[in-house]
């Protein structure tokens, strides 16, 4: 564990780069080199002599830039945007979280599900509830879910495996079904990771370290199985060893110094890359939000302001160029707009963090949202999925529900090989347009269809080879004839 997160290296890098962080020439040199290295045309998985993105020292230099220095920050943002655009284009993959159970034995100081929050009503979805929830999400157009739970003997791993089975069997919406299920659940042993893999229906295993700073971790997680820092840090290793080849990592910003957290996350990512030939498939950057029963609701111990948050998102994009970056509804619509421009490639839409909320909303049309604090934490973006889709399209982004890579077996090392060489654009762009057309046909209102069809026409005419255009138009005809899941 100590060789994964090297505390001394982090502190030394933050200390030694303070001067360089004010020098425009040094910053420009780092950014140009990082841009140059963001594609490895001759990349071979596991060959860690290739530095892609940033070294820990370069990353520390960028983190030390004053977020209010507009000239330096513009250089950082332009580089992040260029890298994101070259790898991910203007596509934004959409998903929704699905909370299955809120029982929890842990004591995470910041979370409404913590055992000590006696005021929270505890529940787990029945099979029928799951079918209703999934149906409600499908009717919003969702095709990708992130399934979450707390940790409690009342809700066992066997029950969770059963829930996955139920989710995957739902086809209530005649227009389609869920095509990718990622999970964010308590850490597992290697043998349970194998059982998860054996379900053959799980994509990415995501787990946030919350904080990589051991003393802060101990303070925030005083009891329960989650209080074991080492066991948590090795979760992604156990996932790989259990045969799961896409893993996600993340830090809860606000618990400790953001500069330390970003550098530690980079070390964690480098470790996974060196050990398993595939770095994190995704990186999440949740920022601490008020939560019912939380001791930290009033003020996070290391609150990250908007300027520094935007800075750190851009730096992660430059540091780990190939990774998918996930943006949640913890951020406001305005902040989400800004963050999309500097590196985010996936976002949730229409999210609820209270168990059973999607079908409750559907069934009780007159009852407005149950109030801000009834979920795991409060949210900042309350727009519906349809509003988010329209807003993205109006701003020139292509909302995508594409899951073709997983169906084609492009995961783990195989995916990295394509992503690192900057080639996912060739596959993803036509596929994303097909999913957008499918969405518009099935769920788009007049307004969505109008913006969406113009966008698709523009995107199909630009940047694709003649053969790709011919293939796209052939497949588009199938979608418009009512076929689903065309890629």
Give the interface with ligand SAM as residue ranges (CB under 6 A).
110-111, 148, 150-151, 184-186, 207-208, 210, 252, 286, 288-289, 291, 294, 330, 376-377
The count of chain residues that interact with ligand SF4, using the rule CB under 6 A, is 9
Q: Decide which of ligand SAM, ligand SF4, none touches 185; Cβ closer than 5 to 8 Å per partner kind.
A: ligand SAM
Q: What are phi and psi of 459, to 5 degrees?
A: -70, -30
Q: What ranges in 5-69 are assigned the alpha helix state H?
A: 7-16, 24-36, 56-63
Nearer to ligand SF4, 278 or 326 (CB): 326
Q: Which residues of 287-296 are buried (b: 16+ CB within 10 A; e: fewer)?
A: bbbbbbbbeb
121 DSSP 8-state letter: P
292 interacts with ligand SF4 by CB under 6 A: no
Closest alpha carbon to 292 in 100, 154, 118, 152: 118
Residue 269 or 294 with smaller CB distance to ligand SAM: 294
Q: x-or-dash pattern for ligand SF4, window 187-226, by CB under 6 A? A: ---------------------------------------x
Nearer to ligand SF4, 291 or 433 (CB): 291
DSSP 3-state helix, strand, coil percentages of the chain (rounded to 5)? Answer: 50, 10, 40
Closer of 144 and 232 to ligand SF4 (Cβ) = 232
Check residue 150 for interaction with ligand SF4 (CB under 6 A): yes
Residue 94 phi/psi, 5° resolution? -105, 145
* Residue 114 site contact among ligand SAM, ligand SF4, none (CB < 5 to 8 Å, cut-off depends on kind): ligand SF4
**Residue 112 CB, nearest approach to ligand SAM (Å):** 7
Q: Alpha carbon 80 to chain centroid distance?
A: 17
Where do we find the tokens 């995501």?
206
Residue 258's closest CA among 33, 62, 20, 433?
A: 62
- Write down the least CB distance from residue 391 to ligand SAM, Å: 23
Task: Give the one entry of ligand SAM, ligand SF4, none that residue 31 binds, where binding means its C-beta sits below a cut-off of 5 to 8 angstroms depending on kind.
Answer: none
Question: Is 388 a residue that touches ligand SF4 (CB under 6 A)?
Answer: no
What is the number of other CB atoms lying within 10 angstroms of the CB of residue 336? Answer: 24
Three-point CA angle 366, 368, 369, nearest 5°: 145
Q: Does 356 bind ligand SF4 (CB under 6 A)?
A: no
State the nearest-atom distance from the C-beta of 111 to ligand SF4, in Å: 3
Phi first, then psi: give them for residue 329, nearest 5 degrees: -80, 10
Q: Which is nearer to ligand SF4, 113 or 256 (CB)?
A: 113
- What's the residue count for the chain? 487
* Residue 285 CB, nearest approach to ligand SAM (Å): 10
CB-nearer residue toward ligand SF4: 96 or 455: 96
Give the separation between CA 97 and CA 19, rounded to whole angstroms.
42
Rounded Cα–Cα distance for residues 15 and 12 (Å): 5
| Interaction residues for ligand SF4, span 88-127 (CB under 6 A) | 104, 106, 108, 111, 113-114
291 versus 388: smaller Cβ distance to ligand SAM: 291
Q: How far is CA 311 from the centre of its chain?
A: 18
Question: Nearest to residue 270, comparing CAs of 36, 1, 4, 63?
Answer: 4
Minimal distance, residue 236 CB to ligand SAM, in Å: 12
Nearest CA to 430 out of 395, 449, 404, 407 is that of: 404
Q: For ligand SF4, which is the closer residue by CB, 108 or 339?
A: 108
Which of ligand SF4, ligand SAM, none does 399 bind, CB closer than 5 to 8 A by kind? none
Residues near ligand SF4, by CB under 6 A = 104, 106, 108, 111, 113-114, 150-151, 226
């Amino acid at each position: 564990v100590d060789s994964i997160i090297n505390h001394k290296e982090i502190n030394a890098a933050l200390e030694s780069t303070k001067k360089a962080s004010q020098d425009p020439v040094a910053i420009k040199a780092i950014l140009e080199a990082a841009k140059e290295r963001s594609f490895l045309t001759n990349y071979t998985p596991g060959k860690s002599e290739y530095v892609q993105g940033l070294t820990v020292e370069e990353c520390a230099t960028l983190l030390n830039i004053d977020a209010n220095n507009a000239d330096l920050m513009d250089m950082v943002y332009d580089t992040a945007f260029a890298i994101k655009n070259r790898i991910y284009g203007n596509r934004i993959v959409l998903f929704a979280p699905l909370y299955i159970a809120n029982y929890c034995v842990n004591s995470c100081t910041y979370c409404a599900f913590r055992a000590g929050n006696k005021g929270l009503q505890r529940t787990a979805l029945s099979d029928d509830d799951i079918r209703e929830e999934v149906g409600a999400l499908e009717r919003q157009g969702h095709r990708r879910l992130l399934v979450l739970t707390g940790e409690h003997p009342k809700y066992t791993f066997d029950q969770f495996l059963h829930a996955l089975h139920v989710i995957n069997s739902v086809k209530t919406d005649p227009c389609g079904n869920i095509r990718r299920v990622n999970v964010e659940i308590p850490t597992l042993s290697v043998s349970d990771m194998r059982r998860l893999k054996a379900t053959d229906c799980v994509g990415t295993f995501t787990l946030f370290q919350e904080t990589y700073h051991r003393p802060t971790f101990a303070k925030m997680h005083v009891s329960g199985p989650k209080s074991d820092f080492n066991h948590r840090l090795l979760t992604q290793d156990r996932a790989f060893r259990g045969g799961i080849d896409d893993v996600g990592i993340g830090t809860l910003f606000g618990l400790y110094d953001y500069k330390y957290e970003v550098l530690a996350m980079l070390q964690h990512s480098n470790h996974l890359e060196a050990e398993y030939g595939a770095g994190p498939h995704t990186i999440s950057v949740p920022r601490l939000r008020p939560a019912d029963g939380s001791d930290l609701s009033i003020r996070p111990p290391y609150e990250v302001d908007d300027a520094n948050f935007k800075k750190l998102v851009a730096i992660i994009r430059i540091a780990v160029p190939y990774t998918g970056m996930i943006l949640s509804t913890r951020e406001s619509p305005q902040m989400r707009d800004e963050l999309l421009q500097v590196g985010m490639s996936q976002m949730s839409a229409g999210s609820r963090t209270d168990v059973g909320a999607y079908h409750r909303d559907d069934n009780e049309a007159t009852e407005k949202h149950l109030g801000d604090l009834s979920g795991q934490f409060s949210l900042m973006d309350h727009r519906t999925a349809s509003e988010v889709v329209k807003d993205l399209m109006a701003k020139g982004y292509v909302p995508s529900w594409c899951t073709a890579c997983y169906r084609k077996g492009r995961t783990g090392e195989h995916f990295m090989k394509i992503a690192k060489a900057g080639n996912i654009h060739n596959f993803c762009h036509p596929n994303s347009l097909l999913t957008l057309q499918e969405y518009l046909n099935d769920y788009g209102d007049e307004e969505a269809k109008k913006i969406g069809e113009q966008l698709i026409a523009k995107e199909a005419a630009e940047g694709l080879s003649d053969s790709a255009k011919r293939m796209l138009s052939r497949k588009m005809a199938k979608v418009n004839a009512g076929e689903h899941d065309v890629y």
